[in-house]
Amino acid sequence: MSHLISVSDLPDDDLHDVVARAVRFAAGHRERSLAGRIVGTYFRKTSTRTRTAFTAGALRLGAQVIAYGPEDMQLVTGETAEDTGRVLSGMIDALVARTTGSTEELLAFAAQHTMAVINAMSAAEHPTQALADLTTLQEHFGRIEDLRVLYVGEGNNSATALALALSRYPGVHLELRTPPGYGLPAEYTERARANAEHSGAVVTERHDMRDLPGDFDAIYTTRWQTTGTSKPDPDWRRVFAPFQVTADLWETSPKAVFMHDLPAHRGDEVTADVLDGPASVAFRQAEHKMHSAMAALEWCLA
């Protein structure tokens, strides 16, 4: 049994294996490797893709699923997360949880040794989204090494996970362009650059859209208003406006695919002609949420 709280919990070889396994699931490979297992899903925030991905993925692998809503557990009456995790660990094999804040609650659930805990998104990091992103790149290009990826938008939990993941592949160039005041947290920037120094990748971040290099293989953005969050600055849209992804970005990267973690707001972070255009793999990327969820469940339990 292993926990998946951060992409960093996966050793390099295991990360590559999980992505390869997800690509196999995407190609139609099926087996009931989790028959007899019970997976709990606990979402304290809204979710379409991640909740469905883990539920459908667990069922396809032969597991049974128990779903908990935000008010279903005694956590709302004051029971500690440690006690809740200890109780659940005697009954179920894995808990897939989306929290309302930091990873502290997830770590408290994980303070036992018989139930795997999987981070289905915290304020700091969205590791299973990064696995879906890597699966999308691996399927489309046949490799992740040496790819050039442009990320445009807020340095949110999807961006932190993407940076921690891509920085571990040799030759990758990850260019992050984030609005001023909305960049990656310093801790994650440091961790990604440390990964890159070890792997031979390159991770750069700027807070403007000037002097963009070209020849990107993928251009990625996320929703400006990250799920479950709000921005204290009433003028934040003016700050974000130059970071909208438009067709102009393809002038110097004509072969790039477009990626988005969804949900998308056409006319905000991306124009409709890009999201719905021929370069977009965003909805295939969404399908890979299930394939990567299946591979993550196997890694944690099998």
Fold match flag (7-125+289-301 vs 129-286): yes
Record: fold of 129-286: Rossmann fold (3.40.50)
Residue 230, pLDDT score: 77
- Contact call for residues 162 and 137 (beta carbons, < 8 A): no
Predicted confidence (pLDDT) per residue in 73-118, tens digit: 999 999 999 999 999 999 999 999 998 778 999 999 999 999 999 9
Record: fold of 7-125+289-301: Rossmann fold (3.40.50)
Q: Which residues of the chain have pLDDT under 70?
A: 227-228
Q: Where are the domains of the chain?
A: 7-125+289-301, 129-286
Token pair recorded at residue 257: 């695919």
In DSSP notation, 37-105 reads -EEEEEESS--SHHHHHHHHHHHHTT-EEEEE-TTSSGGGGT--HHHHHHHHTTT-SEEEEE-SSSTHH
Predicted confidence (pLDDT) per residue in 29-55, tens digit: 999 999 999 999 999 999 999 999 999
